[in-house]
Structure 1
Amino acid sequence: MSEIKVGLFSKNQLKSIIEAVVFSQRKPISIAQIQSLIFPDDNIKKLDIEAALELLKKDYKNKSIELVELATGFCFQTKQEYAPWVSRLWHEKPAKYSRALLETLALIAYQQPITRGEIEDVRGVSVSSSIIKTLIDREWVKVVGHKEVPGRPSLYGTDKNFLDYFGLRSLSELPTLMEPESIELIAGRLEKELTHDGD
């Protein structure tokens, strides 16, 4: 029996092409990018790509790496249980972030959109410009608008790279806060995540 064709390709060929494409990328790649960049003239539909990605997830289910969907697309990554060994490849220690930066990031993540003044009200201290600059430079935070009050201060929210970095598809996957959980505990949780990451 001949294999079912998807456009010009068999299902296995399509799956293999998509596997190679995702594997070759340093950053996550979306279904829309795969469709427009890899198959612009091949009559490959979004559903065909989704089906191939699901087959790949199953193929890698019992392996040490997995295909994951993040906020900006799909990527291969090492399964968490192998991180202690893989991290030995990097001699550099992960970047250390100050408690002030982590608390600021936690406030933005959980209370966005939020102004710098509102962050300062919760923390009880001023937020340095370098903290906001670091978060924006890392593409974890971006200006999402301006509050309609005198001075029109910037409103900050998380960027999709924040979600990718922490292995989330959407903000709804952030851990639920247990009230009254302090912002310091949230910052501690973020710090733990960053310590496990080799970035």
Structure 2
Amino acid sequence: MSDIPETARRIEALLFAAAEPLSEADLARRLPEGAEVSAALAHLAETSAGRGVELACVAGRWRFQTAADLAFLMTEEREEPRRLSKAAQETLAIIAYHQPVTRAEIESVRGVQASRGTLDVLLELGLVRMRGRRRTPGRPVTYGTTDAFLEHYGLAALADLPGMAEMKAAGLLDMNLPPGFNVPDPTMPRSEEEAEDALDLEDAPEFHQDFVGDETP
């Protein structure tokens, strides 16, 4: 049986030096064989709780971050390179809560035609990705959120998405959507047929690049 405090100490060192959050698999590859990574992470989370820097899991990966109640001490200000428009915020919210969702479905919820540029911006920022083509007439592409979306909003998983009021308070949505917008469970497919019809496009980056340029209203 491994020494959990010692394993936790090693994980602390790895996370401190890492340039980005690490998954349990990443940590296991760097630790001696048989190391109890999950137990060590739980131990580290417990011992760091309430301190200035705490252990947090975001999008399935672990990192140290400043305790939420000490955020006021972070006085450095910087200008965001690109601020999402209201249309982009609404589109992102719809995708987050209705994914996988097609462009036509986004337009149906918003009540207005979606601008090609709005989806392009979300794809370019890495907040949204194409999930696959639906096996319906026209073979429309479906969209979903990415791990970058979870990291940006500090969510461990899609199941942690907030309700409407919390969305507005967090800045994810700053204006009212038309009637028809609801908050389904984004971790579950909306139908058995839809789960079977979504084709994964992660192995086709060339198609992604071509699609962004060729998308038509």
TM-score w.r.t. structure 1 length? 0.77
Match of 1:14 in 2: 7
Of residues 40, 57, 81, the one that matches 2:45 is 57
3-state secondary structure, aligned to 1:52: helix
1:193 Cα offset (Å)? 8.8
Q: 1:159 to 1:26 in 2, by over 3 A?
A: same
1:13 Cα offset (Å)? 2.8
1:93 Cα offset (Å)? 4.9
The 5 A counterparts of 1:159-170 are 159-170=146-157
Q: How far apart in 2 are the matches of 1:124 and 1:79? A: 40
Match of 2:63 in 1: 75
Q: 1:108 to 1:55 in 2, by over 3 A?
A: same
How many residues align structurally? Answer: 174
The 5 A counterparts of 1:178-193 are 188-191=168-171
Q: 1:110 to 1:116 in 2, by over 3 A?
A: same
1:105 Cα offset (Å)? 0.4
Q: How far apart in 2 are the matches of 1:23 and 1:175? A: 29
1:69 Cα offset (Å)? 1.0
Does residue 123 (structure 1) correspond to residue 110 (structure 2)? The answer is yes
- CA RMSD for the aligned pairs? 2.4
Match of 1:24 in 2: 17
Q: How far apart in 2 are the matches of 1:118 and 1:24? A: 43
Q: 1:190 to 1:152 in 2, by over 3 A?
A: farther
Q: Tell me the alpha carbon deviations over residues 128-169 of structure 1, each in whole angstroms, 9 at most, x when there is no partner.
A: 222212212222211111122222111011112211221212
3-state secondary structure, aligned to 2:129: strand
List gaps (5 residues or longer) in structure 1: 178-184, 195-199
Q: 1:154 to 1:163 in 2, by over 3 A?
A: same
Q: 1:186 to 1:76 in 2, by over 3 A?
A: closer
1:74 Cα offset (Å)? 0.5
TM-score w.r.t. structure 2 length? 0.71
List gaps (5 residues or longer) in structure 2: 175-217
Q: 1:192 to 1:160 in 2, by over 3 A?
A: closer
The 5 A counterparts of 1:101-116 are 101-116=88-103
Q: 1:66 to 1:73 in 2, by over 3 A?
A: same
3-state secondary structure, aligned to 1:139: coil
Q: Is the 8 A contact 2:128 2:145 kept in 1?
A: yes
Q: Percent identity?
A: 33
